[in-house]
Amino acid sequence: MKKNIGLFWLKDDFRLKKNLALIEATKNHEKVVVFYLYKKIKYDNQEAQKWWLGKSLEDFKRKLNYYNINIEIIKTDSYKSFFDKLFKKKDFSIYWNRTYEPNYLSFDKYLSKNLTLNKINFKIFKGNILNEIDVKKGDGTPFKVFTPFWRTAEKFYLEKIPQIEKKISKRKNKSSFFKEIINVQEVYPKKKWFKKFDKYWSPNEESATKELKSFISNRIESYSDARNFPSRLGTSKLSPYIKHGQIHVETIWEECAKIKKKGVNKFLAEIGWREFNHSLINFFPHMIKGNYSKKFDKFPWKKNPTFLQAWKKGLTGYPIVDAGMRELNNTGWMHNRVRMIVGSFLVKHLLINWMEGEKFFKNCLLDYNEANNISGWQWVSGCGADAAPYFRIFNPILQGEKFDKEGEYVRKWVPELKNVPNKFLHKPWELKNDNIIRLGKEYPYPIVNHEQARAKALNAFKKI
């Protein structure tokens, strides 16, 4: 055991299982301190995740108490300025797991160089991903299409030598290291709108494991079909836990590999899309701030604050769209099928730039992940890699009738329409019965006409 302190830089790694950097720190050092860098400017545009982060820090602090390990939260405006001060100290070694975003990977190089120059021991470990960003075609170029990527990535992962599972070891005594630390309460959003999340989520490793086991036992066989119906619990609902590292995707893979049920391959392909999205943003980093497909740089987007606000609040007059936006605002999550519908509506019916939707989702989603969110929005907009073609325009009426036929989802999130018969539920303007619903007062008329909006979108696409 080394006598100096082992520091573990905690990012999205709120788990004990498969936390390689934390395990290594406890293996090598009697004194271990976990630190979290709370960069306020980063979370100013991710309000929902402040709640999940605060809960995760509180839970992880309790867990690490058992091992006599402290978590110290440091508020900083800049990772660089924090580490530049840290380089001046000599009584520590540092460990962390990779985050597969270009800025983080670039910063890893900066840290590696300066820690080496300052003769400080460090070690970087694989983060929450199956394959690190090294899956390429035979000619050494990156994949741009999902199916061949995933075929190669699966094979690449399966051929690796499995690691021996290691565990965190308990310390004799707790140690401290940093002087200027903050209380976890400073992390939570100032507005209390997040309180309703408590009804829906328990941000901890145990809940993630429980959700996975429940999904595999009860729902994975029907996943291929059920995942399209938002009124049914057909998806895994693991995405916020994966994002914050309460569960490792290797754990998900291993548990799925133990069973032979229909739906497993389809579900693992969704993990594959996450891998693909991380590959895309690292090989094509220009898509983080703009369109992957440069021809969309000339797309004639419209600026319409009134329409954008109606979309954000779930007041577009299209029930399936409004239900999705209200689910997001109330739970910090939205069903994946509905994410595609509301995304298509914003960029194709309203002709509003996908970046506005991406920014709003970033602020409201508990599972916000840079690679998934940006790639998802560019997929639905038609400007991404292996994207849906722009002329594929979801009809929000038909989507509602097909995937929420009995209206359970719409009636849950748009209760104004609870008495509208199924025949008119997804097009209430055709009902023409003020005794059931007063359009324009209790629920809005559609802000655009579907057929006219579709024609405008196709004409706009022709211009590029």
| Residues involved in catalysis | 270, 273, 301, 336, 354, 377
Rounded CA separation 81/430 (Å): 60
**Contact criterion met (CB below 8 Å) for 147 and 276:** no
Rounded CA separation 462/128 (Å): 41
284 three-class SS: coil
DSSP string, 19-63: -HHHHHHHHHBSSEEEEEEEEHHHHTT-HHHHHHHHHHHHHHHHH
Place of tokens 């741009």: 144
Q: What angle do CA 124, 57, 55 make, to 5 degrees?
A: 135
Cα separations in angstroms, 274 against 133, 188, 283:
12, 28, 14
* DSSP code for 338: H
Rounded CA separation 245/205 (Å): 8
Closest C-alpha to 236, from 271, 211, 199, 273? 211
* DSSP code for 349: I
Rounded CA separation 321/336 (Å): 12
Rounded CA separation 358/371 (Å): 11
* DSSP code for 317: S
Rounded CA separation 383/379 (Å): 6
Rounded CA separation 67/70 (Å): 9
Q: For residue 246, what are its two tokens?
A: 């309460």
Q: Are strands 92-97 and 122-125 parallel, antiparallel or unpaired?
A: parallel
Place of tokens 């007062």: 441
Amino acid at 111: L
Amino acid at 214: S
Closest C-alpha to 129, from 22, 247, 263, 236? 247
Rounded CA separation 239/230 (Å): 16
